[in-house]
Structure 1
């Protein structure tokens, strides 16, 4: 297949690219910087979102479009300028993907757009599945961003392209993502419960993220929102205790919410708030997780 990826050099994008290349697919990465050496003859860099670029000229005949582009949520304190960059980078990249696909004579078979479980808002008591409504509070920055982001992505359906909105939970990887920062205090023997400890962590192993995206591409009956989370979310206290158990380190020194709010500002919501999200649709389509329990995932990564 000919697969187009925006955000192909990030955490998830790199893992996906390696998977597709290993399986002999042609991968076209949309990037502002095309001066990168391609380590595989099936890997191509295509310039986009720059003045005068016309990526569509190289993408005719593409079978799959995947949009992972956007400024990282962990890229710095959430100033008003940073929040604007987070929001606009996701919306503008999605609009450009729609524009490119609409210009192609032959439309791709499927469009996979990254999204996030922040769509559902924050709760310590509710359980969310794909049919759960969006958070009603537009003062929730993440929820508002995801709602607008998904609205843009859904426009691909007007082009009669099967569209999948992958709502990612917290993606666990060995060297990237949230896990290294969560593990560091335990390596230093100062790990403990963060905040109340009651907030839910809807996590997923990076290997399953890659497998799930490949799965939804291959299964033509999958469309709409798909929760990309393991089937057994845990609360933050249990998450920390499991890290400690796997590493053989104590879980004892709590990190108070007030301190994190002072240190991180609004970005502290990524750590102090959460939601219990279940991958109902993947279960209905009989996807088999490689890592469905947290301890097994952490033993693999740590």
Structure 2
């Protein structure tokens, strides 16, 4: 079995590649440049999104396409130019994957397109699942809406299509956790903003396992929340992180400070949603790290 991954060298892409290899799959990673990329027995790199590349010629027998490509949301202050790049990077990669799949004589079994729980409105009260009809109206929600609309064109090709709505992904070296942990390592960790904002998190290994689970379960389609079954408030996560790192949780950071420093990007930290993985639970997916204490202990063990 073969999987093609756009964004395969990123945080989630590396974990997913390991998961696929462990289960005997071959992985093709789509990359803008082949420089310093070396093929191995079960990993091959294919150039795409360049003027001369024709990736479809190397992807004729791929069973699964997975799109994780897109500029990072926390790569810098959200200027108008950066917001354009965040949106365009997602739309352009998705359009190209739709084009490639359309060219293939034998269509893949499934197209899994990364998405985000940022599609749901900010709330300290509501609980959101894949069956929730209410969507947000901010920049993140708008980005997810047009991203999923573009990815949905795979349905017209007769391909099972999944929108993997990712929560806040936790891992030791990449993602949000290193930035969250740094103040604690410097003995200045504490409540951020109100502290009561929900953080719908998931361990990076469970992200990879859940995507593989979706591949193996053809009855799963449409939006799928990739979050742990036990979201927590940011204050609770901070206290747990302090305990595991043997550091105090004491110095509060007022929301106005983050708004001043980060601008609109501060919404990633100051706002939150309580999101549950209803579809994964309904299909009996077993989380390896269902609660925050387990997850953080694993990461910092």
Fold match, TM over 0.5?
A: yes
Contact residue 101 and residue 108 of structure 1 kept, 8 A: yes
The residue that corresponds to 1:116 in the other structure is 116
CA distances 1:25-84 after superposition (whole Å, capped 9, x unpaired) = 111111101123326222111111111211101100110000000000111111111000
CA distances 1:64-105 after superposition (whole Å, capped 9, x unpaired) = 000000000111111111000000000111111100001000
Q: Please list every run of at least 4 consecutive aligned residues from structure 1 whose deviation after the TM superposition is greater than 3 angstroms.
A: none
Cα-Cα RMSD: 1.0
Contact residue 70 and residue 86 of structure 1 kept, 8 A: yes
The residue that corresponds to 1:224 in the other structure is 222
Q: What SS is found at the alignment partner of 1:283?
A: helix
What stretches of structure 2 of length at least 5 have no aligned partner? none
Taking the aligned partners of 1:148 and 1:133, their CA distance within structure 2 comes to 16
Q: What SS is found at the alignment partner of 1:238?
A: helix
Q: What SS is found at the alignment partner of 1:12?
A: helix
Q: How does 1:119-198 map to 2 (within 5 A)?
A: 119-137=119-137, 140-198=138-196
What stretches of structure 1 of length at least 5 have no aligned partner? none
Taking the aligned partners of 2:291 and 2:116, their CA distance within structure 1 comes to 20
Q: Which shows bigger deviation, 121-130 or 18-27? A: 18-27
Taking the aligned partners of 1:243 and 1:53, their CA distance within structure 2 comes to 46
Taking the aligned partners of 1:88 and 1:155, their CA distance within structure 2 comes to 17
Provide the TM-score with structure 2 as the length reference.
0.98
Q: How does 1:68-147 map to 2 (within 5 A)?
A: 68-137=68-137, 140-147=138-145
Q: How does 1:1-302 map to 2 (within 5 A)?
A: 1-38=1-38, 40-137=40-137, 140-302=138-300
Q: What SS is found at the alignment partner of 1:44?
A: strand
Taking the aligned partners of 1:116 and 1:43, their CA distance within structure 2 comes to 27
Contact residue 134 and residue 147 of structure 1 kept, 8 A: no
Q: What SS is found at the alignment partner of 2:132?
A: coil
Contact residue 228 and residue 279 of structure 1 kept, 8 A: yes
Provide the TM-score with structure 1 as the length reference.
0.97
Taking the aligned partners of 2:223 and 2:24, their CA distance within structure 1 comes to 28
